[in-house]
């Protein structure tokens, strides 16, 4: 069952009350960016108190500092003037439940949606699959606080990232809604 009609209906309602949003400036008003996970339980506008036009929000699976995420952060700073960045992972992240090998194995078996059980993901589909998954780094997570430190450090040490941008590291707790600072990450992201 498709949600297409629901989405288009919601958009019609949004358009009807769009008002002054059409005049928002291109640069984010509060001059910061958030790199976070695509998980549907995370609403950066709510947990960070954002309104439309306030900040850049870059999302990918795990909120990882991939080349594309860093590309977006560099554009955010260089062309649109952000002055602070947040890396926000979250508890109970799906990226903790598999490895690169597991993902490539699941894709090799079939391209259908896998099932998550007590022992992790298992393929329940019928083939064919593809071996192409083994050529992708899925950026999985084995230790969530450590991954926040790694991502902040990767961004901080990237040659296209200016040293004067502070980069903060947090984990969003999906059971309480609280942002929990990862002190080692924030230390690694300190501006100089």
Q: Express each pLDDT in 2-44 by its tens digit.
A: 999 999 999 999 999 999 999 999 999 999 999 999 999 999 9
The CA angle 27-20-86, to the nearest 5 degrees, is: 35
Interatomic CA distance for residues 113 and 39, integer angstroms:
16
Q: Are 174 and 41 in contact (CB under 8 A)?
A: yes
Helix, strand, coil share (%) of the chain residues, nearest 5: 40, 20, 45
DSSP-assigned beta bridge partners for residue 85? 33, 167
Interatomic CA distance for residues 151 and 46, integer angstroms:
23
pLDDT of residue 119: 85
Q: Where in the chain is the domain with CATH 3.40.1050.10?
A: 27-97+139-192
Q: What is the average per-residue pLDDT within 162-190?
A: 98
Interatomic CA distance for residues 95 and 142, integer angstroms:
8
Give the pLDDT band (50/70/90) at residue 190.
very high
Interatomic CA distance for residues 148 and 184, integer angstroms:
9
Cα 186 to chain centroid, rounded = 17
Q: Express each pLDDT in 72-124 by its tens digit.
A: 999 999 999 999 999 999 999 999 999 999 999 999 999 999 998 888 889 99
Question: What is the CATH code for 27-97+139-192?
Answer: 3.40.1050.10
Give the pLDDT band (50/70/90) at residue 61.
very high
Q: What is the average per-residue pLDDT within 181-190?
A: 98
Give the pLDDT band (50/70/90) at residue 64.
very high
pTM of the complete model: 0.94
């Amino acid at each position: 069952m498709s949600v297409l009609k629901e989405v288009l209906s919601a958009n019609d309602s949004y358009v009807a009350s769009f008002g002054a949003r059409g005049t928002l400036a291109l640069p984010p008003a509060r001059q910061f960016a958030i790199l976070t996970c695509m998980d549907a339980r995370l609403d950066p506008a709510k947990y960070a108190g954002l309104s439309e036009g306030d900040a850049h929000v870059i999302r990918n699976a795990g909120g990882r500092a991939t080349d594309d995420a860093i590309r977006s952060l560099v554009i955010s700073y260089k062309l649109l003037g952000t002055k602070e960045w947040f890396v926000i992972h979250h508890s109970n992240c799906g990226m903790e439940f598999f490895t690169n090998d597991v993902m490539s194995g699941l894709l090799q078996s079939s391209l259908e949606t896998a099932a998550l059980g007590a022992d992790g993901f298992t393929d329940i589909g019928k083939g064919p699959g593809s071996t192409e998954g083994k050529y992708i780094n899925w950026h999985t997570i084995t230790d969530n606080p450590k991954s926040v430190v790694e991502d902040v450090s990767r961004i901080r040490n990237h040659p296209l990232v200016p040293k004067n941008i502070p980069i903060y590291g947090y984990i969003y707790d999906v059971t309480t809604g609280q942002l929990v600072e990862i002190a080692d990450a924030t230390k690694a992201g300190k501006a100089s």
